[in-house]
Chain A
């Protein structure tokens, strides 16, 4: 079972770069991404 990961970074290029790197690894699954604290956490 892959490790489910949520990515949070306000820099689009960094976020997509990290996503691109991690998507080459079968043991990691990027479930979602966002760019600020409020989007990351439940209110």
Chain B
């Protein structure tokens, strides 16, 4: 690995809006990207982090979101060639949002389908589709396009999801994140 003195302490020196980090790096070659995200949550809470990973196993994504989903994205490395998706993840974390690779979400949904007691099993297939899109970081307009619904219908479906999951009124954004976290936690 080539290392110059100028490379030291990038975050302190550059005050970036977003850090894009490999999940595995020296010194340990294990989950340094997630460690970095945890440290930055404390030292630089305004900095967004996009973790690029070769692991579709949901446990790594859950570890990343354990200290909160705001400003965090988990993308598979195979997604990097899809520049639109990478830029969307960068924008999402810069705006305080989050994004999870669709493939990881699929794995979570598959795990959840095997669990019986989850309140998520109360959801209709359409509600489940919308929640999956929410978990992938999409906004209402994009969800509407993807599922061939009107934006108004998407709002109604989301309202119904919140009711079934027992979420009381907070700000819309906060509730959205809570629904997604519940979805992730139940399948973990």
Residues on A facing B (Cβ under 8 Å): 3-12, 14, 17-18, 21-22, 24-25, 27-28, 31-43
The 9 closest A-B pairs by CB, nearest first: A9-B22, A42-B12, A36-B26, A8-B21, A37-B32, A31-B14, A6-B16, A34-B7, A4-B16
Number of A-B pairs, beta carbon distance below 8 Å: 127
Give chain B residues whose Cβ lies under 8 Å from the Cβ of A9.
Answer: 20-22, 25, 52
B17 in the interface, Cβ–Cβ < 8 Å? yes
Binding site for A on B (CB under 8 A): 1-3, 7-22, 24-28, 32-33, 35-36, 39-40, 43, 52, 77, 80-81, 83, 86-87, 90-91, 94
Residue of A nearest to B81 (CB): A21
Partner of B9, one of A7, A14, A21, A39: A39
- Chain A residues with CB below 8 A from B7, complex form: 32-35, 39
Distance, CA A14 to CA B80, complexed state (A): 9
**Within 8 Å CB of A31, what residues of B?**
10, 14, 16
CB proximity of A13 to chain B, nearest CB, Å: 12
Contacts of A3 in B (CB 8 A): 17-18, 90-91, 94
Chain B neighbourhood of A4, CB < 8 A: 14-18
Which residues of chain B have C-beta atoms less than 8 A from A27's C-beta?
Answer: 87, 91
